[in-house]
Every structure is written in C-alpha cells, then in structure tokens.
Amino acid sequence: MSVSTGERMKITILGARGSVPTEGADMLEFGGATSCVLIETDTWAVFFDAGTGIMNAPEVGDKNIAIFLTHPHVDHLLGLPFFPYITKEKHIDFYAVKRGELTARQQLDKFLCPPLWPCPVDAYKADFEFHDIKFPVKIGDITITGMPSVHPGGSVVYRLEHGEDSFVYATDYEYDEKTVGDLIEFAKDTDLILMDGQYTEEEYAKRRGYGHSTPAQGMRIFKESGAGAIRFVHHDPTHTDEFLKKMEAEIKCENASFARKGEVIYL
Ligand SMILES: [Zn+2]
Ligand SMILES: [Zn+2]
C-alpha cells in the first residue's frame, strides 16, 4: 500500500457475507452481515452497498454521506431501512447505475414498497438525493470510476481514488476468461482489491453462471493487476469460520486474506 502523505483513507468491512445474512456461533469471526464497506476521509463517509452490514455503521459526525449501490440484489439493500442515518435529518447521496430503464430512485422504490416493505423512502427523515451514475463521479476530493461486472442482471465494479490511495470493490463478479483482462487493467496498481471469492472450486463447478468467483480466480486478477493487497468478500452463507479459514490457508500469500466483520484497513 502506498505510503500515506498526510490524511489516510480508512476502510471498514461492515458486512462481508454473500447472498443472505447468516448467524451462529460458528460464524462470528467473518460475520453474518451482508455486503457493506465504509470508506472514510476527513469529510466523507462513503458506503459501498447497503446490505445488513450498514446497520452497524459507526458514528460519522458531520461527514457527508454517500451510498454507492453495486446492483439492487436484495442482499445489497437489505440493511438500508435500518441504516442509523435514515431516521435522522441527514442528506444522503444515493448513487446507482441505471438497470435497464430503472433509475437509482426506481431501484430503491422497488424494494422499499408494500407489500415487500411498509415504508417508502419518503417516509424516512433522511433527505435522499438520487443520482444515476455517469462515470467518473467526483465527490469532494474522491473520484469513483466503474466498469460492468459479470453477474446476472448486471452489477458494477467500482474503483475509488483519493489522493495517492486507491482501491477496487469487485463483489458479485464471476470470473470470465474473455473479459478478465479489462478487470485486471481496471485494478492496475491499486492498493487494495475487495474481491468476490464466494465458492470453492467444487462449488463453482456446480454454480457456473451464478455470478461469483473462487479465490484462485481472484488471485490471478490480483497478481496480474499488481495490486498491493486483496481481501475476499461475499462469503458463501454455508461457510463457517473454520471452513473460511481453511480456504484462506490454501491461498498461501501474505497479502491475501478473507475479510472479517469489523476489519479496518488504512490506505
Ligand atoms: Zn450479492
Ligand atoms: Zn448479486
């Protein structure tokens, strides 16, 4: 990772579980909360995805808040009604790429709508501002770019840059031989990649087309991109702490590991 010159960027893993929230004494270390990553600078709190991990968002003081959705699958939105700042009079910039004809606003409306959920977004105190993403997005001194992921219904891989620091969020991505070069290029020389590593090789053989990858596939992207570190995310809901640690041990690379609940990474 780059040597910090002045203010550092702080990344907190609020949820690293994939597909559906889990619980149990055998899942405490990696956690059961679904996708959510918080990136903090001195003026911004940027959330990538609003899975149940966003329920555990820490106090961010008077920082500006933005949420960037990768795609509207329910595991990436499920925590939003319990986001601590949704019940406060706080401005929240909500960003998503249009899905078909659906705007960012409409994607959220599909979820926060009876009979799926009793309260529409306007029922909450927060002042939402919706943005249909046109890359690059600039918020304060942060720049966010994106590329299409390989995932049923579509998703986006984000790259966030702040000063000398950068990282790539590639959850819900299925390794694809034909286009993997684009992702390697996109992640070139970044400090950190958060990468979908949901399946073992055996599982992947049975779940091709589900939109997720294996750690071995992620390691190829990591090595060829020249990135500084990789953390695997979107843990399969059936994988216990013990199982994930076994998968992790097989990687055999000191800069590679599986993301833990609450893990904090400074760039
Ligand atoms: Zn997902
Ligand atoms: Zn998905």
Cα-to-centroid distance, 226 and ligand 1 (Å): 26
Residues 158-182: pLDDT tens digits?
A: 999 999 999 999 999 999 999 999 9
Cα-to-centroid distance, 166 and ligand 1 (Å): 23
| Residue in 40, 2, 6 with CA at minimum distance from that of residue 267 | 2
In this prediction, residue 8 carries a pLDDT of 79
Name the domain count of the chain: 1
Q: Residue 97's domain spans which residues?
A: 10-266
C-alpha 191/C-alpha 46 separation (Å) is 18
3 falls in which pLDDT band (50, 70, 90)? very low
Cα-to-centroid distance, 7 and ligand 2 (Å): 33
Neighbours of ion ligand 1 (CB under 5 A): 75, 172
Cα-to-centroid distance, 29 and ligand 2 (Å): 23
pTM score: 0.96
Reply yes or no on whether the pLDDT at 88 is more than 90. Answer: yes
Cα-to-centroid distance, 171 and ligand 2 (Å): 8
In this prediction, residue 128 carries a pLDDT of 98
153 falls in which pLDDT band (50, 70, 90)? very high
C-alpha 186/C-alpha 31 separation (Å) is 29
Cα-to-centroid distance, 210 and ligand 2 (Å): 9
β-pair partners for 156: 148
Order of strands, edge to edge, in the sheet holding 91-96? 127-132, 91-96, 64-68, 44-48, 36-40, 10-15, 264-266
For the segment 79-106, the average pLDDT, to the nearest whole number, is 97
Residue 4 counted as domain residue: no
Residue 193 counted as domain residue: yes
Structure tokens at 48: 């990538």
Cα-to-centroid distance, 110 and ligand 2 (Å): 16
For the segment 22-26, the average pLDDT, to the nearest whole number, is 98
The DSSP letter of residue 32 is S
| Runs of H (alpha helix) within the chain | 104-111, 180-186, 201-206, 215-225, 241-249
Residue 252 counted as domain residue: yes
In this prediction, residue 183 carries a pLDDT of 98
Residue 191 counted as domain residue: yes
Residue 234 counted as domain residue: yes
Nearest ligand, measured from the Cα of 20: 1
Cα-to-centroid distance, 37 and ligand 1 (Å): 13
Cα-to-centroid distance, 140 and ligand 2 (Å): 29
β-pair partners for 45: 40, 65
Residues 95-141: pLDDT tens digits?
A: 999 999 999 999 999 999 999 999 999 999 999 999 999 999 999 99
Reply yes or no on whether the pLDDT at 1 is more than 70. Answer: no
Residue 100 counted as domain residue: yes
Residue 217 counted as domain residue: yes
Query: In the predicted model, what is the mean pLDDT of the chain?
Result: 96
CA quadruple 199, 77, 255, 189: dihedral sign:
positive
Q: What is the CATH number of the domain that holds 82?
A: 3.60.15.10
5 falls in which pLDDT band (50, 70, 90)? very low
Residues 200-242: pLDDT tens digits?
A: 999 999 999 999 999 999 999 999 999 999 999 999 999 999 9
Cα-to-centroid distance, 259 and ligand 1 (Å): 15
Residue 1 counted as domain residue: no
In this prediction, residue 46 carries a pLDDT of 98
Neighbours of ion ligand 2 (CB under 5 A): 73, 172
